[in-house]
Amino acid sequence: MWAGLCFQAETGKIVSRLAMKEKSMNTDLGKIVTAVMIDENETDYFVQPERNGKTYRLPKDEAPQVLHIGGSVQGFVYENNHHQLQMTCDYIPTIQVDHYDFGEVVSVRRDLGVFVDIGLPNKDIVVSLDDLPSLKHLWPQPGDKLLMALEVDNHDRIWGKLADEAIFQTIATKPQAKMKNRNVKGTVYRLKMAGSFVLTDDYCLGFIHPSERDQEPRLGQHVDARVIGISSHGALNLSLKPRAYEAIGEDAQQIMALLEHSLDQRLALTDKSDPDEIRAVLGISKGQFKRAIGHLMKAGLVKQQDGYTQLISDDHE
């Protein structure tokens, strides 16, 4: 029963080893702290924060000014790739403990997780495989981005902590009804059986139902989507599938573009029009025109009436 206990000489108390381990944690890691210079060599200053007595090397070329014994300096502290405690004043990450921002994935280790660049010259941060999708083909790839903060475990290791739903709700903006049918870009931040959750580049929340995608996007992937509706919860309903006329071909897209930019949303051409007139306006043959119009009519996007081809509505889904 005494295996997990030890005697603490300075207090005369018996405490658990776990409590001592937690007490000895370096609570400065991943934060900006103020420290005092205590020593130096040719390349580095050595500084100590008052509250924990840990010593950090501060490269002289990253110091804001020449330091002398007892001089104070403020910087970001971390453990670099060589397992040295370090302070930097030049490379202050926007991603810190309890400070969220997007970081870019730079590499993947299947047995560990993904490495994220937060702006440090000699340290990338790992997001553990425990926090990543169980299907490895849905893991972020280099170039993908993750919204995250830092957290430090009981062994003073710094990890990437992915933002939870509450964070995304806090930073989200309310979508406008006029966004319907617009193209948007966004980053996939959560994968569930129900679908993919997205934060658009203008900070609207979005959702992609499995029926609105041909392939499930990765966590952190930047996607091009279109707005097909707005949910009662204030999120955009998105689709990764092309509009009907976009899937048909370039000729149909050209016709749709002309109709959308016309004041009366009409085009004075039909499948009865003269081939030379069609070629003069669109630069395509009458056969191409008829095939494109046939596809658009089948998709319910246009109609022909009184010698005109006309949009059926403004909502071309």
CATH assignment at residue 273: 1.10.10.10
Domain limits for position 48: 32-88
d(CA 70, CA 80): 25
The reply to whether 127 falls in a domain is yes
Residues 249, 223, single domain; the answer is no
The reply to whether 6 falls in a domain is no
Provide the number of structural domains found in the chain.
Answer: 4
**Phi-psi category of residue 182: left, alpha or beta, with phi > 0 → left and psi -120 to 50 → alpha:** beta
Residues 6+ apart with CB under 8 A from 94: 101, 118, 119
3-state secondary structure of 65: coil
The reply to whether 134 falls in a domain is yes
pLDDT in tens, 3-47: 344 444 334 444 444 444 444 678 999 999 999 999 999 999 999
The last residue of one of the domains, among 115, 139, 163, is 163
The reply to whether 19 falls in a domain is no
CATH number for 70? 2.40.50.330
Angle of the 250-261 helix axis to the 275-282 helix axis, nearest 10: 80
Residues 228, 265, single domain; the answer is no
Residues 38, 75, single domain; the answer is yes
Give the chain's residues under pLDDT 70.
1-24, 243-248, 313-317
The last residue of one of the domains, among 24, 59, 88, is 88
The reply to whether 227 falls in a domain is yes
pTM exceeds 0.85, yes or no: no
In percent, the amount of the chain with pLDDT more than 70 equals: 89
Angle of the 275-282 helix axis to the 286-298 helix axis, nearest 10: 80
pLDDT in tens, 233-243: 889 999 998 76
The last residue of one of the domains, among 163, 194, 217, is 163
* pLDDT computed for residue 313 by the predictor: 66
* pLDDT computed for residue 15 by the predictor: 43
Q: Which amino acid is at 75?
A: G
Q: Which of 62, 66, 71, 65 is nearest to 37 (CA)?
A: 71
* pLDDT computed for residue 246 by the predictor: 62
Residues 44, 59, single domain; the answer is yes
* pLDDT computed for residue 257 by the predictor: 85
DSSP E strands in 209-273: the ranges are 222-230, 236-239, 266-267
Residues 198, 148, single domain; the answer is no
The reply to whether 11 falls in a domain is no
Residues 110, 159, single domain; the answer is yes
Residues 176, 235, single domain; the answer is yes
Q: Which amino acid is at 287?
A: G
* pLDDT computed for residue 24 by the predictor: 61
Residues 263, 304, single domain; the answer is yes
The reply to whether 132 falls in a domain is yes
CATH number for 190? 2.40.50.140
The reply to whether 117 falls in a domain is yes
